[in-house]
Structure 1
Amino acid sequence: MNTALELIWRSSYDAVGVGEICRQAKVNKGSFYHFFPSKEDLAVAALQENWRHIQPVLDQIFSPQKEPVQRLMDYCDHSYQMQAEKAAKMGFVCGCPYTSVGAEQCGQSDKIRETAQQLLDKVRTYFASAVRDAQNAGAVSAGSAEAKARELFTFYLGTLTRARIYNDLTCIKQLKQDFRQLLGLSGETVRR
């Protein structure tokens, strides 16, 4: 599944065939179809498997033991580091796999689109929790935590998409500064 997600993330869902996935994973096609009725089912399983790996990382980054705003800043640092590592491995900035695959397949596969949407919503809940806790602590202004989380998360996804299109990590490196501005914070509020 990791091979499938990496190939789809690198190229696109439509550009990668079952044969290529099987060659890269060193399995025969018969084995593939024993476990997955279709490439669509594999893509869904690969996205869900990716979530199983990323969720513990998010739990650690967004631990309630940390200051709420620091959680968001740590996520920005993590995102930059992860994207830089992927870019070094693949030769270009990859962006968000859920957004890339979900956007590509939104008009073709409800199953993939719905899976990507559900996983993106799960990530957004971490943002909402951090914003709500920051508001309760008086670190950021009151208002709808959900609306602010949507704004931050939408900005975040747009930044990753821009980084992929421009093949440039610079905008991801600027996320902390951008988040501070969106939250109405000065640059000195959070450690760097």
Structure 2
Amino acid sequence: MKYLLVIMAIVAMSAAPAFANNLLLIPTGNTLSTGQFRAEAALSPDNTAGRYYWFGTGLQQLEVNLIRYEKHSGEDENLIGLQWSFLPETMLTPGISFGARDIAMQSAEGIGVYAAISKHLPIGKMSPVLKDLSVTAGIGAAGIRGPFFGFEASLPYRLFAEGEYDSRDFNGAVGWQPSEHFRLKAYAIRREFYLGAELVPAAF
């Protein structure tokens, strides 16, 4: 009962939108704010393609995040990142952020720096299919080589779709959101298939 009350309190305190602060492997122009956190896991069904884990938390305009990739070979990559919100997204302005990824240099690509911009588009009642749409574009250097872009779309019946180009590959995900802060997902990342779940940004 105590754990149920804790979960209910977390849900009640959170006012975060349904869109994650990042897509799959690309950052967005939005960051987690103070007291917010997110977590996500993507597992290959037969474990031949390894596992992905995402974690993040915010403090004022700064976000600390981690993408952990556990390879089938037993090697692990922990891509620790820092992201700064230069301009928060509003009805009139896009969200703009700057950041660095893999600051511990554990991947083959090494540390990368980037700038990202994100904006919700005013879909409204113009589309019977799209309930909401957010688009992201950015540019990276060093470990993030060149431009990247992506989108996240809310669909009817609590379905959603994500797609991105991460400067190396096209990745995507589709899923279902049974509650405000929890989503089930199927992924295609780096030409491999995964199943997983996401805790949409919540407050603690």
**TM-score, with structure 1 as normaliser:** 0.26
Looking at CA atoms only, which structure, 1 or 2, has the larger radius of gyration? 1
**TM-score, with structure 2 as normaliser:** 0.25
More strand by share: 2
More helix by share: 1
